[in-house]
Amino acid sequence: MFTGIITGVGRIVAIRDLAIPFADGKPLGAASQYGKRVTVEAPAGYLEDVVLGDSIALNGACMTVTALEPAQRRFTVEISAESLDKTAGLAEPGPINLEKALRAHDRLGGHIVAGHVDGVGEVTHFAQVGESWELRVTAPAALGKYLAYKGSITVNGVSLTVNTIADSPGGTEVSINLIPHTVANTALGALRSGSRVNLEIDLIARYVERMLTAPPQPQKASA
């Protein structure tokens, strides 16, 4: 479980196939059929309380630490082909948002985030407006019903508040205001028009939708 409050900005520095190689060192089949072993360089001191098996969200996607190199400030995760197909930016060199899993005594500074990406959106606008920045993202049409004015959405792992909503046949565009602190302390500042971003809807919205759409269950006759 996470909160959407980024605890560090890392950088993907190495990407390798997860395919098991033959004796000659060549992988079996096409590389696109396999997951990736991704190595991330973390900020200084970030890994001091991290151990093997810990969960760290990378751009909002919960991953398990499979290797640690504290002296080099690096850790490695293994990402399946399915996860790579359903997310964006997890197998490309460059900056990435990091959040360690929530501890029971931590403050819930953002909102309840599961670290499960619900869909990939596309940035349609990102520009400075006064002292802040306006970010507009088009979410897949299937996610539109979960987005609400002043509701929460997670973009690349960052808990954000929806300011406006515009529905269209191609999806739902949300407008979000970013304060300078968010731009300076996350990897969102590297976004551009056309960038693909990981989106997670509000957890409560999932349950509300299920309660409203689940078929009624037949009542058992009393004895």
Task: Classify residue 105 as left (phi > 0), alpha (psi -120 to 50) or beta.
Answer: alpha
Look at residue 3 and tell me if it is in a domain: no
Per residue in 123-174, pLDDT (tens digit) is 999 999 999 999 999 999 999 999 999 999 999 999 999 999 999 999 999 9
Long-range contacts of 62-66 (CB under 8 A, 24+ apart): 62/2, 62/101, 62/114, 62/115, 62/116, 66/37
Look at residue 64 and tell me if it is in a domain: yes
Contact 5, 186 (CB under 8 A): no
Please tell me the predicted confidence (pLDDT) of residue 64.
97
Task: Flag whether pLDDT at 99 surpasses 90.
Answer: yes
Question: Are 129 and 44 in the same domain?
Answer: no
- The enclosing domain of 17 has a CATH number of 2.40.30.20
Please tell me the predicted confidence (pLDDT) of residue 26.
58
Please tell me the predicted confidence (pLDDT) of residue 103.
86
Q: To the nearest whole number, what is the mean pLDDT of the chain?
A: 91
Look at residue 26 and tell me if it is in a domain: no
Please tell me the predicted confidence (pLDDT) of residue 218.
81
> Which one is predicted more confidently, 55 or 24?
55
Residue 80 pLDDT class (50, 70, 90 cuts) = very high
Please tell me the predicted confidence (pLDDT) of residue 96.
97
Question: Are 197 and 127 in the same domain?
Answer: yes
Total structural domains within the chain: 2
Per residue in 1-46, pLDDT (tens digit) is 899 999 999 999 999 988 765 555 555 555 667 899 999 999 999 9
> Which one is predicted more confidently, 105 or 187?
187
Expressed as residue numbers, the domain containing 131 is 119-212
Residue 83 pLDDT class (50, 70, 90 cuts) = very high
Question: Are 74 and 129 in the same domain?
Answer: no
CA distance linking residue 175 with residue 147, whole number of Å: 11
Look at residue 27 and tell me if it is in a domain: no
Please tell me the predicted confidence (pLDDT) of residue 140.
97
CA distance linking residue 120 with residue 196, whole number of Å: 6
Look at residue 112 and tell me if it is in a domain: no
CA distance linking residue 184 with residue 195, whole number of Å: 18
Contact 175, 136 (CB under 8 A): yes
Question: Are 123 and 93 in the same domain?
Answer: no
Please tell me the predicted confidence (pLDDT) of residue 22.
59
Task: Flag whether pLDDT at 77 surpasses 90.
Answer: yes
CA distance linking residue 101 with residue 77, whole number of Å: 15
- Whether this prediction's pTM lies above 0.75 is answered by yes
Residue 67 pLDDT class (50, 70, 90 cuts) = very high
Look at residue 218 and tell me if it is in a domain: no
Question: Are 127 and 202 in the same domain?
Answer: yes
Look at residue 127 and tell me if it is in a domain: yes
Task: Flag whether pLDDT at 70 surpasses 80.
Answer: yes
Please tell me the predicted confidence (pLDDT) of residue 71.
93
